[in-house]
Each structure stands twice: as C-alpha cells, then as structure tokens.
Structure 1
C-alpha cells in the first residue's frame, strides 16, 4: 500500500512538472513566432502574423494543472508552509495533538474543495462548457486536473493523519524549513 501511495504522489508531481515543461514550450514557441514575425517585418516591410493559437489559454490551463497536481507531492516533501516554530516548541504529546488537529482541519477543507472541484467538473461535462479562444477546449479537461490534485492531496492528508493517530512519524517529520 505504501508503494502505491508513494507512486500516486510521485505521479502527480511528475504531471505537475510536465505541465511546467508544456508552459515553457508554448511560451518559447510564441516568442519564436514573434521574433520571426519581427524579422519578416524588417526584411519585407510586412509581418507574417504568426501565432500559437490560444497559447495564453493553454498556458493558463497548464498552470492550473501544475499548481494543483503539485500539491500532494509538495505536501509529502514538506514543501508547504507550516508553523514549525510553534509546533517544534511544543512537548511531544502536545505536538502530536497539534499535528492531528492540523491534519484533520486540512483534510476537512481539502475534501470540501475536492467535492466542489469534482462537481464543477461534472457540471462542465453536463453543460458542454468550452473555453473562449481560437481553440475551444472542453473545460472539464483542465478542471479535472484541479479535482485530481485536490483528491490526491486529501489522500495524502488522510495518509499522514492515520500515521499521526498511530503515533508514527509523519511524511514531513525531520524536514527542516529553509530560511
């Protein structure tokens, strides 16, 4: 089970990284098109009018994917903002209670957000919502990345909550915050 969960968290992290690569590729393609356009305008006196259709929308969709799909991996890696100064000052028993409380609140909020993200995605499918742009995209596609990221974050929070209740180390224990 541990291997499966770790693979799930890593898979989300890899999809987030792939989204960043896609953003970079799209922006580079549009910048290259702009450069070619300017050179053509200098040489011939007329711009060609090159563009990557809907690149702004696509990069926005990939940014949503990168942001939400990175959440579970970043949580497990201890990259989320935590109030470490307060928690580390607590005695071990109170620290465990604070960790359990924090994980329960985080899990409740994440499940709530995931529920609404899934409902939003479902509604986009039912109503056939599409993006406004040169290339209309079914909105359920980028919305599903948001829903998936939140669902897997909820799983990661539940995973650590079970560990905390059992008195075992949490995924981010021993990871010192960067100053």
Structure 2
C-alpha cells in the first residue's frame, strides 16, 4: 500500500510540473497576444493563475513525502528520543486534522461552485469548479500523506531514510 501511495504522490508531483509548464505557456500566450496583432487568448492571465495554484497544491504531498517541507526542529532535536517521538506524533495529529479540514472545505467549495454554476468573472467565463479541483485533489493528497506519516510514526518506523553521511534526508 505504501508503494502505491508513493507512486500516487510522485504522479501528483509530475502533474504539478506539467501545470507549471501550463503556467509558462499561458503567460507566453498573454505576452504574444499583446505583441502580435490578431493573436489573442482571452483569459490567459486567469489560466496562468489557475495553473500556478493547481501546481502548488498538487506539489504539497510529494514534497512532504520527500521530507522537503520546512520543519522547525530546534526544540525537537534537543529532546530525548521518547519525547521526540511523542512530540512528532502529536504534531502529526494536529497536521492531519488541519490538512483534513482544508481538504474538506476545498472539496466542499468545488461542490458548491458546481452546484451554483459559479463562473469566473474574466473574459474566459470558466466554470470555477474546474480550476478548484486542483486544490481539492492536492489538499486531499496532502492529508493522506500526513496520515501515512502518522501511521508510520505510530508503528515505530522512521519517516525518512538517512543519507550516506548520516544526516536526515530532509532540510531542517
């Protein structure tokens, strides 16, 4: 199950990269639309924003799984091993709750936007539930990644493999 979830998180990371490329293409289209007569893509600025937001949310889970989120470990590293473990478990419980709440309200926002046929105010008139899907999926995967880390912690396993020089594989 862990391998399957790690593949899912990796796929979300690659998809986030594709949305970054989408941001680039939308910005270039907007620039060329201003420079080249007759070439216009209405809403290109809005699409760049949608792609950027989707990329950011989809990248949350794979970044967490790779241990690349910033963690303030000044206190954590000075605790005995048992206290370190339990504080880490406590923090992960709070993180699961907060990420879960964010996912819940993101999904709810998508459902309400779809139900009320909410569209963007720009020239593109995009149904807003479509770009909001990236946030809902990204936050749901983020919650799942935190839950996976919490389960690993509770089972007594370490979250990240150490690098060859003995340092943790994540930035602190």
TM-score calculated relative to the size of structure 2 = 0.90
Aligned to 1:108: 97
Aligned positions of 1:161-172 closer than 5 A: 161-171=150-160
CA deviation after TM superposition for structure 1 residue 15, in Å? 1.3
Contact 1:23-1:62 at 8 Å conserved across structures: yes
Is 1:92 the equivalent of 2:106? Answer: no
- Say yes or no: does 1:60 pair with 2:54: no
Detail structure 1 runs of 4+ shifted over 4 Å in the superposition.
none
Counterpart selection for 1:74 from 54, 57, 63: 63
Looking at structure 1, the residues matched to 41 and 132 of structure 2 have their Cα atoms a distance apart, in angstroms, of: 22
Partner of 1:8 in structure 2? 8
Who is 1:24 aligned against? 24
Native 8 Å contact 1:78 1:172 kept in 2: no
Q: CA deviation at 1:176?
A: 4.1
In terms of fraction of residues, the more helix-rich structure is 1
User: 1:13–1:69: 8 Å Cα contact kept in structure 2?
Assistant: yes
2:171 matched residue in structure 1: 177
Distance 1:21 1:172 in 2: 31
Larger radius of gyration: 1
> In structure 1, how many angstroms separate the alpha carbons of the residues matched to 2:114 and 2:146?
28
Match of 2:116 in 1: 127
Q: How many residues align?
A: 167
Q: Normalized against structure 1, the TM-score is what?
A: 0.87
Number of the residue aligned with 1:43: none
In structure 2, list runs of 5 or more residues that go unmatched.
163-167
Range that drifts further, 121-130 or 77-86: 77-86
Q: Judge conservation of contact 1:27–1:55 (CA < 8 Å) in 2.
A: yes
* RMSD over equivalenced CA pairs, Å: 1.6
SS of residue paired to 2:59: helix
Matches within 5 A, 1:34-45: 34-36=34-36
Alpha carbons 2:12, 2:62 under 8 Å: kept: yes
What are the ranges of 5 or more consecutive residues in structure 1 without an aligned counterpart?
A: 37-47
